[in-house]
């Protein structure tokens, strides 16, 4: 009987570790929508020493922080894209604000397939690799 109880406890523990809260699922889905340029955001860069805003970016933007730099890529109304990069330091910080509500599921994860990435475009020249 103790073996069955221990096995049941182990299975329950494994099942519960895979569970996510509604907030976790919504956050992940919001981030995916933002990376698909479906979420309007305001990204502000602020100098903590001078107490002044350095830059403010608004639009349907994807944010990629990496170390001491942050890249903000925004989709323009005409379908083109623009990229902003900002260096961060001990006195420069940034924050992002979502400008309006977005309807995302808290019940299921999103999986996004991009066929244009999987199927090559033979009309477009291949990218030139960076020198090593």
Domain for residue 85, yes or no?
yes
Q: Is residue 40 part of a domain?
A: yes
What CA–CA distance (Å, rounded) separates 105 from 98?
Answer: 17
Give the model confidence (pLDDT) of 4-30 as tens digits: 656 655 565 555 555 677 778 777 878
Kindly state whether residue 99 falls inside one of the protein's structural domains. yes
Quote the CA–CA distance of 34 and 27 in Å, as a whole number: 10
User: What is the count of structural domains for the chain?
Assistant: 1
pLDDT in tens, 30-47: 888 888 898 899 999 999
In the predicted model, is pLDDT for residue 106 greater than 70? no
Residue 93 in any domain: the answer is yes
- For residue 2, being part of any structural domain is answered with no
In a domain, 9, yes or no: no
Domain residues for the domain of 45 are 21-118
Q: Does residue 103 fall inside a structural domain? A: yes
The per-residue pLDDT for 117 is 61
For tokens 């809260």, what's the residue? 21
């Amino acid at each position: 009987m103790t073996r069955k109880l221990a096995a049941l406890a182990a299975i329950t523990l494994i099942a519960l570790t895979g569970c996510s809260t509604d907030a976790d699922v919504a956050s992940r889905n919001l981030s995916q929508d933002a990376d698909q340029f479906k979420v309007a955001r305001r990204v502000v860069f602020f100098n903590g020493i001078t107490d002044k805003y350095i830059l403010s970016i608004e639009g349907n933007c994807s944010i990629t922080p990496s170390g001491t730099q942050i890249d903000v890529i925004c989709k323009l109304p005409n379908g083109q894209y623009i990229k902003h990069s900002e260096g961060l330091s001990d006195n420069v910080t940034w924050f992002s604000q979502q400008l309006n509500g977005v309807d995302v599921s808290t019940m299921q994860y999103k999986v996004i397939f991009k066929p244009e990435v999987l199927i090559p475009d033979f009309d477009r020249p291949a990218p030139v690799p960076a020198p090593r």
